[in-house]
Amino acid sequence: MRDERQRRYLEAMGIPLWAPRKPLTRAAVRAAEPSAPAPEPVAAPATPEPVSRAVSPPRREGGASAPPPAATPAPLPDTSRPPGGAPDIATLDLDGLREQVAACARCAELAATRTQTVFGVGNPDADWLVIGEAPGAEEDRRGEPFVGRAGQLLDAMLAAIALDRQQAYIANILKCRPPNNRDPRPEEAANCRPWLDRQIALIHPKLILVVGRIAAQALLGTDAPLASLRGQVHRLPGTGLPVIVTYHPAYLLRTPKDKRKAWADLKLARQVMAAEAG
Ligand code: URA
């Protein structure tokens, strides 16, 4: 039954059937990890793309494109403590965190333009945490991440590894929609990071699947292209949690030829999870 469901979802992803392999051993997982040590955590990518756009432009994830132009990052705000009088984030449970996020006004533009914050959804005890970039228009309207077309493909990707939304938790780097779907700014990612870090601490997943270049760069504190980030096991600085990077489903909708690589990433994620759980 599960195989049949996976087969249907693989078809939905546009991916031919595959033959299951033996799960990775811990040693194999270690071998898949990057040989160089992960960079130290920083609040935001060092070389952001300061691109402002009027309509949802395509995400560039293929990796062949030139890296973003070098830029001197502006000093980031101190987000280690909540603003005036708010409770210490480290003391909040998920409900308390959701309330604080809903009242957040750290990014004046986002707070002024959002319909609502999009905190995250799923099983708070999930082994799998999926992290995307930021809510889009539909997510902003409904208050739930990944509910548009990209969300449908994300569901298909999860189902292909026998997961549904109730077995995962889904969140974003930003809890607010950037106007006109522009890229999140580094200071916005930095402002939002304490919320995400607390979500990660509370959910305490066994593995993080991060979708898309922007989310991956922000989470891992790197400006490496997606092509060099995918296909290996990263460790989230400060937690040691395994992180697998793959393409954003919105990108895959536009670039179906890369679905095959996404499928390889999903299989790697599943193998790492099996090794973590075993
Ligand atoms: N894209 C994302 O990265 N996150 C969402 O929630 C929706 C679309």
* pLDDT value of position 87: 85
For ligand 1, say whether the CB of 119 is within 6 Å of any of its atoms.
no
Report whether 67 contacts 223 (CB < 8 A): yes
* pLDDT value of position 18: 46
What's the maximum distance between 2 C-alpha atoms anywhere in the chain? 56
- Report CA(140)–ligand 1 centroid distance (Å): 10
Q: Which element (helix H / strand E) includes 164? A: none
Q: What is the DSSP letter of 199?
A: H
Residue 273 CB neighbours (<10 A): 23
Q: DSSP 3-state assignment of 219? A: helix
Report whether 225 contacts 216 (CB < 8 A): no
For residue 11, the one-letter residue type is E
Residue 132 CA: which ligand 1 atom is closest?
3
List CB contacts of 46: < 8 A, sequence separation 6 or more.
Answer: 73, 221, 222, 223
Choose among 79, 67, 65, 29: nearest CA to 198.
79
Going along the chain from its start, the domains and CATH numbers come out as 86-278 (3.40.470.10)
Report whether 259 contacts 62 (CB < 8 A): no
* pLDDT value of position 268: 98
Residue 170 CA: which ligand 1 atom is closest?
6
Report whether 154 contacts 200 (CB < 8 A): no
For ligand 1, say whether the CB of 146 is within 6 Å of any of its atoms.
yes
**Digits of tens for pLDDT over the chain (278 positions)?**
456 666 665 676 766 554 444 556 666 556 666 544 333 333 333 333 322 232 333 445 654 444 444 445 555 555 555 555 678 999 999 999 999 999 999 999 999 999 999 999 999 999 999 999 999 999 999 999 999 999 999 999 999 999 998 999 999 999 999 999 999 999 999 999 999 999 999 999 999 999 999 999 999 999 999 999 999 999 999 999 999 999 999 999 999 999 999 999 999 999 999 999 88
Choose among 53, 51, 48, 52: nearest CA to 67.
48
* pLDDT value of position 86: 74
- Terminal alpha carbon distance of the chain: 24
- Report CA(31)–ligand 1 centroid distance (Å): 31
Residue 212 CA: which ligand 1 atom is closest?
3
In the block, tokens 């299989």 appear at 267
**Spatial separation of the C-alpha atoms in residues 17 and 266, rounded to whole Å:** 14
* pLDDT value of position 9: 59
Token pair in block for residue 83: 């603003």
Burial environment of residue 4 by CB neighbours within 10 A (0 to 12, 13 to 18, 19 or more): exposed
Cross-sheet strand order for the sheet of 233-235? 121-122, 168-172, 128-132, 207-211, 242-246, 233-235
Report whether 158 contacts 141 (CB < 8 A): no
